Amino acid sequence: MSKKLALLFTLLSPLFSPTALGDRPPDFYQISESEARQLPPFCLGLSIGNFKEDAKYLKQAINMPGQHTQHFCHGMKSLIRGDRGDKSQYQTAVGEFEYVQEHSTSQHELLDSVSLYKAEALGKTGRTALAIAEYNKAIQLNNKYHQAYAKLADYYLTLNMKQDAMDTIKMGLRFSPESKDLENRLHKLTADK
Q: What is the mean pLDDT of residues 29-51?
A: 94
Q: What does each C-alpha distance from 56 to 26, 35, 44, 130, 140 come to in angstroms?
A: 16, 12, 9, 36, 37
Write out pLDDT tens, residues 154-182: 999 999 999 999 999 999 999 999 999 99
Closest CA to 58 of 82, 40, 80: 40
User: What percent of the chain clears pLDDT 90, i.e. is strictly above it?
Assistant: 77
- What is the dihedral angle through the alpha carbons of 12, 18, 22, 26, rounded to the nearest 10 degrees? 100
- The contacts of residue 114 (CB under 8 Å, 6+ apart) are 72, 75, 97, 100, 101, 108
* Gap between the Cα atoms of 169 and 173, Å rounded: 6
Amino acid symbol at 65: P
**In the chain, where the domains are located:** 21-141, 143-193
Average pLDDT on 45-69 reads 92
Evaluate if residue 192 carries a pLDDT over 90.
no
pLDDT exceeds 60 at position 61: yes
Spacing of C-alpha 170 from chain mean position: 25
pTM of the full structure: 0.84
Q: Is 145 helix (H, G, I), strand (E, B) or coil?
A: coil
Residue 120 · residue 79 · CB < 8 Å = yes
With bands split at pLDDT 50, 70 and 90, how would you rate the model's confidence at 193? Answer: low
Closest among 121, 184, 126, 122 to 150, alpha carbons compared: 184
Nearest Cα neighbor of 114 from 101, 123, 103 is 101
The number of beta carbons lying within 10 Å of the beta carbon of residue 135 is 26
Q: What's residue 29's pLDDT?
A: 84
